[in-house]
């Protein structure tokens, strides 16, 4: 009898161990499946709610390369806004809305990010927005339904994609992807899927220029009947962007609204896009309202053989003063307050387009045609720079 009981006990023990092993395998398999298929959920411990971001916002939108299918063209933007004053400010606001997207297991078999699109949406309903100062890609879908992405996955090549969210915005939804760096994008819309290729700027463009509008004057010198220094410089930058891109030059502008990019953001952009040159646009100011003229500041600490910062500064001053019929003040080496110019490792110069505090120059800087002539002068200087390289 004791032998029979012992046999039963051994059978029971083995069965129990086998059951426990199976349970562990099943639980581990289920966890691995969720980690691969639903990483957004697993990273949020099962929640598809709000996520926090740790990188900055200076929301500039630029054009994205686009392919189209027979149903029409996927649109891309070439506008700019600015949703934060510095790297840290506004970051939580940028990501404090929307629902996390499911980012499926990455596929090494594709060069494209795969974004499923609901039935009834055509390529004409889709707009690509490259917010490169935020390191974000926005896919705007007119008439889209955010609920569609409650069960659909973003998959394909997920390299560089740090996070994704779907946001309801009036009559459209926005699929916002946080990227690890600045990219250019090429898209194909086919059979209900938007395929997005991510490329480094230098893989796409032979000529790249960074424009950094940075107009400033102390508050006590601000003329409230005038455009602000920032607005003057940013309008010149917008006109310059149009001129340069019509000539096939890729232009990254750090901001096109009243806020000015902080130096660290401008330097980070230089590091990631590797431009041929960096041009900062400023107005001058002085307590003596009689001081006027155009001047340039160059990087005197970083020597570049051949065409460098001094040559760029000289071209800017010569071409701008010629375009506006103005007075050339001369070239000056960058000082302690010119951090981006001093730290840039590409030809870098600031063009100070006039004295905001001079009554006559202020009147001129407030004229649209005068700002257009300044932009034309800068564009001519850049054209000359490329011809000299």
How do residues 325-349 score in pLDDT, each as one tens digit?
999 999 999 998 899 999 999 999 9
255/276 same-domain check? yes
Flag whether 281 is in a domain.
yes
In this predicted structure, the answer to whether residue 352 has a pLDDT above a threshold of 60 is yes
CB distance 264 to 68 below 8 Å: no
Q: What is the pLDDT of residues 125-145, one digit of tens each?
A: 999 999 999 999 999 999 999
Q: Residue 265: which domain range? A: 205-388
312/287 same-domain check? yes
Structural tokens at position 102 = 């499911």
Q: What is the mean pLDDT of residues 236-264?
A: 93
Tell me what pLDDT residue 104 has: 85
Query: Whole-angstrom Cα distance, residue 344 to residue 12?
Result: 74
Flag whether 55 is in a domain.
no
173/275 same-domain check? no
291/154 same-domain check? no
356/262 same-domain check? yes
Residue at which a domain ends, from 202, 226, 249: 202
CB distance 50 to 95 below 8 Å: yes
Which helix (H) or strand (E) segment holds residue 374: the answer is: helix 368-388
163/217 same-domain check? no
Q: What is the mean pLDDT of residues 261-279?
A: 95
Query: Whole-angstrom Cα distance, residue 11 to residue 229?
Result: 86
213/159 same-domain check? no
Total domain count for the chain? 2
Residue at which a domain ends, from 139, 171, 202: 202
pTM for this predicted structure: 0.76
Tell me what pLDDT residue 143 has: 95
């Amino acid at each position: 009898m004791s032998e029979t009981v012992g046999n039963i006990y051994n059978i029971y023990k083995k069965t129990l161990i086998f059951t426990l092993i199976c349970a562990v395998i099943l639980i581990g398999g289920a966890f691995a499946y969720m980690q691969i298929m639903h990483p957004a959920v697993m990273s949020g411990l099962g929640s598809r709610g709000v996520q926090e971001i740790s990188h900055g916002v200076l929301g500039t939108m630029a054009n994205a390369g686009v392919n189209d299918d027979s149903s029409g063209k996927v649109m891309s933007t070439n506008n700019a806004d600015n949703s934060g004053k510095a790297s840290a400010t506004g970051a939580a606001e940028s990501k404090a809305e929307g629902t996390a997207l499911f980012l499926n297991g990455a596929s090494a078999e594709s060069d494209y990010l795969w974004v499923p699109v609901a039935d009834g949406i055509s390529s004409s309903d889709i707009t690509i927005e490259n917010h490169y100062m935020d390191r974000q890609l926005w896919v705007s879908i007119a008439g889209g339904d955010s609920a569609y992405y409650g069960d659909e996955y973003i998959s394909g090549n997920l390299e560089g994609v740090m996070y994704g969210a779907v946001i309801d915005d009036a009559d459209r939804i926005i699929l916002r992807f946080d990227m690890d760096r600045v990219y250019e994008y090429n898209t194909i819309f086919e059979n209900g899927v938007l395929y997005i290729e991510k490329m480094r700027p230098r893989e796409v463009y032979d000529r790249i220029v960074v424009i950094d509008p940075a107009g400033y004057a102390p508050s006590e010198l601000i003329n409230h009947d005038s455009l602000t220094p920032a607005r003057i410089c940013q309008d010149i930058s917008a006109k310059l962007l149009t001129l340069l891109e019509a000539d096939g030059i890729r232009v990254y502008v750090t901001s096109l609204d009243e806020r000015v990019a902080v130096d660290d953001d401008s330097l980070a952009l230089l590091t990631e896009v590797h431009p041929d040159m960096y041009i900062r646009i400023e107005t001058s100011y002085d307590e003596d309202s009689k001081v006027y003229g155009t001047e340039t500041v160059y990087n005197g600490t970083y020597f570049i053989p051949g065409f460098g910062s001094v040559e760029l500064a000289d071209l800017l001053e010569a071409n701008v003063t010629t375009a506006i019929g103005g007075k050339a003040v001369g070239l000056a080496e960058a000082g302690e307050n010119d951090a981006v110019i001093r730290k840039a490792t590409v030809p870098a110069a600031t063009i100070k387009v006039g004295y905001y505090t001079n009554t006559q120059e202020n009147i001129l800087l407030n004229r649209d045609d005068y700002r257009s002539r300044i932009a034309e002068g800068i564009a001519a200087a850049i054209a000359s720079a490329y011809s000299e390289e």
